[in-house]
Every structure is written in C-alpha cells, then in structure tokens.
Amino acid sequence: MSPDTDSVASAIAYAEYRNKLDGLNAIPARLGKLNKETTFVLDYFKMEEPVLLEDGAGKKFILVDHNEKEQSVKNRDSGEILEIIDHHRVSDLTTPNPIFMRFEPVGCTATIIYKMFAGRGMEISKQTAGLMLSAIVSDTLIFKSPTCTREDKMAAQALSKIAGVDDLQTFAGEMLKAGSDLQGYSAEELLNLDRKKFRVAGIEAYISQIQTLDYDDIMRLKDEFIKEMDLFLEKTKAGLAVLMITDLNKNSSMLLFTGRRSEFASRVFNAKIDADHAYLEGVVSRKAQIIPRLMAFHQGE
C-alpha cells in the first residue's frame, strides 16, 4: 500500500525475470503513491513508474516484497496469487492451491530476485540492475542495517557493475538524501509515506516509519504527529498507532505511540508509565527490530 524502493524495483525486476524466462507477460504494478526516494531512483535510471493497481478482484498477481493481507491489494481474495517473493515474516497466509514461493531472510527482496537471475545465468538489463541496486542500498541503509547479509552485499556489488554505477557511496548518499527530503510534507503526509498495518497480540496496529538526516527538524512536529495518529485511530478503530522516526546519522530511532492499546507498546519498549515515546539506540529496522519484539513480548506474556 505504501511502496518503497524495494517494492517498486522488485516488481519491475521480477516482471523482467518472468517475461524473459517464459514470456508470462507480467506487468509491474504498485498499490500506492511513490515516495521521493523511489521517484528519484526511477528518474535517475530513466524508468517509468509501474501502473497503479487499485483492485485485485479477478486479477492474477505475483506478490513481491510483502505477503500480509493488510498490506496487499484490495479484494486480494477475489483474485489469484500465482507466486510470492518476499523477505518479510509470513503472516496469516493461506492459499487454496500449492504455489511458487521464495522467502529468504535477506535485507532486500531485490537480492532474492538477483539470485534467481544469476541462478539461471540470465541477463539483467542495465536500468533494472540500477533499480535493484538502489533497493538494496535503501533497504539496508547502505549495508548498515542489522538486516543486511553477505548476499545483499554480493548482489549489490554485481548489480553496480551491470548498472555502471562506479561510485556507489556518492550515488547512495544522493538517493538517501532525496528520500529523506521531507520538506513540504505535512505531519499527516509524513505518517502516510510508509505506514504498514500489523496484527500483533490480538491488536490492530499501524506502524509508520520516517528515515531522516534532520532528526531535530522532524521531532519539532511531535505534538502534531500524536494528534494526527489519534485522528487516524478514530477513523480506523485500530488499537495502536506507532511512528518510528529513524535518525540516519545516529542509527537510532524514536518511537511515538498512541491509542487505546498504547500501554502495550509502552511495556514492550520499556517506556515510562503514561509516556507516549521511547528512544531506542541502534534500532533502525521495523521488520527486524520492532515487529519481532512485539511478537515475542506477546508470546512471553
């Protein structure tokens, strides 16, 4: 619903893979608005944005970079899932038939797709390689995230050669800067940029993430964020809203949380009683460092 660079790059790359492999005629699609980082990357490699898919009814699709129904296309159950390529946890997944699925606990879905191309000795076009490289750099925060594996680094190295990106550090810096340019966004828009819905401990939770090089600037909006999160919960009737503000300079995150069930977040992250925030040193990954902690706390209760 909130595509990031990996979702978009993986959709384009996997469509290229399947179309080259067996002429499937796959069309890359997205489920929501592109963020500034992805727009920068598509522009840099002169690629068009994928089509917007608003309803899955009657369609056949391959899911890349997600599998949870809450994050997927509307009316997914009225369509057909052909395949899934992902690097997230599996959540409440059921298919009527056996299907092809490849899940690997690597930093980036594009890394899995790179391995599929490489495994069959298939060529990746220069532009697509550029997108895949961008996805890896983005998802792993230039290889610094705890989710980054040796395979992500190897894939990025191979892809940078194909894409002709000689100075990876400079390119990655420009890309992350474009992505963390949050000028002109309202608090509501910032919360929407990368918001995912989860079900943990029987609670419906929305967890947004913002990555920034200007942490203090963003934190000035704290009261507005809480206000917007409360409004959002009124509309959705969900129990918990969390905003994870990741400071790319310090590789740490501030969590803001609110909602009927905010005491749950407060306990999981050892915040003070009645606090609406917790600062977590060394925490940058929602997938690897926030979701498992919420899940583990639930199981331990």
Binding site for a copy of itself (CB under 8 A): 77, 86-105, 119, 287-288, 291-292, 295-296, 299
d(CA 149, CA 200): 26
Token match 């699709």: residue? 61
Question: Is the Cβ–Cβ distance between 275 and 251 less than 8 Å?
Answer: no
The smaller minimum CB distance to a copy of itself, of residues 153 and 287, is found at 287
Question: Is the Cβ–Cβ distance between 69 and 90 less than 8 Å?
Answer: no
Q: How many Cα atoms are found within 13 Å in the side-chain-facing hemisphere of 137?
A: 27
Q: SS3 of 42, please? A: helix
DSSP notation for 95-134 = -SS--EEEE--SS-HHHHHHHHHHHTT----HHHHHHHHH
Q: Minimal distance in Å, beta carbon 135 to a copy of itself?
A: 16
The smaller minimum CB distance to a copy of itself, of residues 34 and 265, is found at 265
Q: Minimal distance in Å, beta carbon 100 to a copy of itself?
A: 5
The smaller minimum CB distance to a copy of itself, of residues 80 and 181, is found at 80
Q: Minimal distance in Å, beta carbon 287 to a copy of itself?
A: 7
Q: Minimal distance in Å, beta carbon 243 to a copy of itself?
A: 22
Determine the longest span between alpha carbons in the chain, in angstroms: 58
The smaller minimum CB distance to a copy of itself, of residues 39 and 91, is found at 91
The smaller minimum CB distance to a copy of itself, of residues 222 and 287, is found at 287
Q: Minimal distance in Å, beta carbon 147 to a copy of itself?
A: 8
